[in-house]
A and B are shown apart, each in its own frame.
Chain A
Amino acid sequence: MTERIVTLLKADPRVSDYRINTMSRISYELFFVHRDLETVRSTETTETRVTVFSAHNGKLGDATFQVYSSYTDETIRSKIEEALAKAELVDNEPYALPENETGHFASDSNMRELALPELGAAIADAVFAADCYENGSINALEVFVYRDTVRVLNSRGIDKSEVKYLAMAEAIPTWNTAEESVELYECHNFTELDREAIRAEIDSKMREVRDRSLAKKPEEPIACRVLLAAPELREVFESIAYNLTFAGQYQQSNAYQVGDAIQKDPTGDRLSLTVRGKMKGSISSAAFDEDGFTARDRQIIENGVAKACFGSVRFASYVGAEPTGALRCMEVATGTVSREELAREPYFRCASMSGVQVDVYNDYLGGEVRLGYYFDGMREIPLTGISISGKLSEALASMRLSERETVYKSYKGPDFAVFEGVEIV
């Protein structure tokens, strides 16, 4: 199909450049109700997107269309015509597409060693291995296993492909008592099959859901340090990083400029953040972006100060900077707080949140905490029915980062951070 499309694109002289992106996915999915297998799904699909570029009057326009397997040459020709007409209406500044690089990036994941049905079964078994508490259960489980093949090809000699194995287990640990039944949400993403790691992750959630059944609303107001874990830290740091993009710089929507102090008058650990393309263990890891540009890692924040922006070839060209590619992973340097040091003073640990709210524009950090632990200096007491709320700038200024590292989705960095000045309501 790709070769047919290339021939048809080359035959039209009005096409100044082109790019073809394909994504082929084979998936195997299992859906359990309690421990019973309710639905088995499989997908075998290919998505082909063609972008045509039209240089006109010193400007550059582009338009994208999808090509389906049913398309005849005649249909593709007419789609190219339509896309050219659209591209000619678009008057953007010209920029150079990436050139002359080819490569195939194969996955070394151990998930390729099993057939997809057996891989799905192995993941389900690992999750249910943690379902061993008398009052606890996994009320629902969804297992997704993907084998993705991504290819980018353009008119300037780019032809790259990458095979990725990704998996996700979405489990609902539940705890039942005579009075009530409570649950937590767990979404575990991974790129390597590690049965023990899956079991341990689900087991930790089983213990948390048990604690949620014991958790009460605090009778007295609490004022102490607030601790956020990797899922919430990812949201916080991603919100900051996405305000240091070339696109935002060009469109004047970045909340931060290079040279700005992200942490004003810091009293804690200094933030250092690097955006990356490839990152071992991350489901967002990618060797190249959708332009086919090979990822170039870049440190964008050093010691609490914005050092650089990042982004695609197009917007890098517009602001006169060296492109990095559209990077989707980030690594935050670890800090100095050990578990022992943490335990010297009271803190409130947010174990499960509805979703942390980070508003860089309005300088806000907050959210509802479904399960938190108040450490009173002696022990952790499970609490619920609480919200946190504070100024992002004040939280960042006081931030202390843990010395231990973890990987969560697109984030690699401290497994927790401690903030001052965040209200517990």
Chain B
Amino acid sequence: MPFSEFLEARRADCRALVAELSKQFAYVGILGSDIRSTRLGVDKNTSDIGEGGLTECGFVIKMHNGRAFFEYSLDDVVGDKSALAQRIVKSVRVAEALRSREIEVPVPHDEHLIQSFSRDCDFEEYSDEAVLETAKRVRDEILARDGRIVNAMVRVSPYTVSKLFVSQNRELDQFYSWVNAFCAAILADGEKMVMAHEEAYSNRMGEVLKTLPTRVSPLVEKAGKLATAKPITPGVYDVITDPSISGLIAHEAFGHGVEMDQFVKDRALAKQYVGKYVASPICNMHDGAAAAFSAASYFFDDDGVLAQDTEIIRNGVLVAGISDLVSATELGTAPTGNGRRESYKRKAYSRMTNTFFCPGKDKLEDMIASIKHGYMLFETNNGMEDPKNWQIQCTAEYGIEIVDGKLTDNYVSPVVMSGSVPELLQSISMVSDDFRVIGSGGCGKGYKEWVRVADGGPALKVKVKLA
């Protein structure tokens, strides 16, 4: 599968528009985006092949007038460039009342770089019919396993991404693909109803279609266990987090806190802690589109900055944050390749990509054995950041009680973990030697601007409030 023909056909138009707008603006960069996504799904009674929510095709132009930034999103850049440039300038006009408030930020660096990137994609080897057949087979197997299962859902969501970036000195293009899939079961046990799910994801459809059927047994077993789950007695516990929950902590506790557009706005306490201890000395954390391989791995970001691997915490000390082009320019630092947009219709912000704790030296079984009474928490449900005040809320789908160093059969669900970020990170007392980045998540900034992210890490032993 090749890079978008549409964007290729508009490459010269982008160059011409950059040249035209450069007559009025000190910096001009255009991002063209052509994302094709599909959603193939079945449940007990229905099937569905539709367009996925990521599908888009259009352009966004970023400009700098020597003081502030301007952006304009549009569907196409074809046609008379002089007329288009006039339309753009008119559309981003600032009302008279606000003109004196324009910020003064230096013009971004625009270093010379011309490069193409592409990743292998096997989607053309698998027809919609073949994907749907696998989904139906997995659904039927889930339904057949347990008479209490009243519905089963299977969904496969492949997408391809083509992006073109053209500025005065840079011309980059990239093509890559990804596929997320999940299967879920709704189980009714008397008055209680539970939903359990399992995931499969890869850049290769073949791998996902091979993995999905292997998730049926764990899914059905988990649904049965969740039907027995009780509410947790609120309190502070010794807790082991699975890689998903470790990733959620990395993401919510510190990932959002080191997004450097928050530094610019004095919205992140982390700004004052660079070079200082913020976590246990056995804690190390990274972020970067090039730091791991997942749905959040790209070659260059939406500002045309190459993907990187940023070390955020080294041995408990905060080393650096992550930035987009605008915040890096304002702070006088080099951008880290974390400028991301929900779509070409939205603004670029400093956003996480692959965010994770690094593996340690402990064995998971030793970690569990070290707990007299506590819980092991599994599977991210959701989380919420508070980078200014370093509070955290993370919700796990379920937990399993640990008694006298052993996992029991006692499930609790859901489990909300909350408290102070420094207390939580400083309470990390053991870190397992295994490691997994979960590659299918989504993340908002505040309550909007959704992008694909991944997070993970090893298992962590922490002390935290559960409710």
In angstroms, Cα B97 to Cα A174, docked, is 24
Query: By CB atoms of chain B within 10 A, which of A34, A38, A90, A251 has the most?
Result: A38
Does residue A87 face the partner (Cβ distance < 8 Å to B)? yes
Contact with A along B235-275 (1 / 0, CB 8 A): 10000000000000000000000000000111100000000
Does residue A57 face the partner (Cβ distance < 8 Å to B)? no
In angstroms, Cα B188 to Cα A164, docked, is 42
Q: Which residue of B lies closest to A183 (CB)?
A: B388
Q: Which residue of A lies closest to B62 (CB)?
A: A39
For the complex, would chain A's binding face be called helix, strand, loop or mixed by DSSP majority? strand
CB within 8 Å for A65 and B51 given contacts A117-B94, A125-B97: yes
Is A70 a contact of B78 with CB atoms below 8 Å?
yes
Q: Which residue of B lies closest to A85 (CB)?
A: B128
Which residues of chain A come closer than 8 Å to B73, judged between CB atoms?
41-45
Does residue A109 face the partner (Cβ distance < 8 Å to B)? no
Contact with B along A46-70 (1 / 0, CB 8 A): 1001000000000001111110111
Does residue B420 face the partner (Cβ distance < 8 Å to A)? yes
For this complex, 25 residue pairs linking A to B, each with C-beta atoms less than 8 Å apart, are: A30-B98, A34-B265, A34-B266, A38-B68, A38-B330, A39-B68, A40-B92, A41-B92, A42-B71, A43-B72, A44-B73, A45-B58, A45-B345, A64-B50, A91-B47, A117-B94, A121-B94, A170-B446, A251-B186, A253-B195, A354-B393, A362-B194, A362-B229, A363-B231, A364-B231
Which residues of chain A come closer than 8 Å to B97, judged between CB atoms?
118, 121, 125
Closest A-B pairs by Cβ, 7 of them: A121-B95, A389-B467, A354-B384, A36-B103, A354-B393, A42-B91, A43-B73
Does residue A237 face the partner (Cβ distance < 8 Å to B)? no
Is A359 a contact of B414 with CB atoms below 8 Å?
yes
CB within 8 Å for A118 and B95 given contacts A86-B128, A92-B47, A354-B384: yes
CB within 8 Å for A361 and B267 given contacts A92-B47, A174-B388, A251-B45: no
In angstroms, Cα B96 to Cα A121, docked, is 9
CB within 8 Å for A68 and B75 given contacts A90-B49, A387-B465: yes
Does residue B151 face the partner (Cβ distance < 8 Å to A)? yes
Q: Which residue of B lies closest to A140 (CB)?
A: B265
Is B91 a contact of A33 with CB atoms below 8 Å?
no
Of B71, B229, B391, the contact of A41 (CB 8 Å cutoff): B71
A119 to chain B, nearest CB (A): 9
Which residues of chain A come closer than 8 Å to B265, judged between CB atoms?
33-34, 139-140, 172
Say which one of A7-15, A149-157, A366-374 lies at the interface with B. Answer: A366-374
Is B57 a contact of A66 with CB atoms below 8 Å?
yes
Does residue A226 face the partner (Cβ distance < 8 Å to B)? no
Is A252 a contact of B50 with CB atoms below 8 Å?
no
A276 to chain B, nearest CB (A): 23
Does residue A259 face the partner (Cβ distance < 8 Å to B)? no
B31 to chain A, nearest CB (A): 13
Does residue B70 face the partner (Cβ distance < 8 Å to A)? yes
A386 to chain B, nearest CB (A): 9
In angstroms, Cα B194 to Cα A261, docked, is 19
Is A63 a contact of B416 with CB atoms below 8 Å?
no
20 more A-B contacts (CB under 8 A) besides A68-B75, A174-B388, A357-B382? Answer: A29-B347, A34-B265, A37-B68, A37-B94, A40-B70, A42-B71, A66-B51, A70-B75, A117-B94, A117-B95, A120-B95, A170-B448, A187-B446, A362-B229, A364-B231, A368-B392, A368-B418, A385-B419, A387-B416, A423-B234
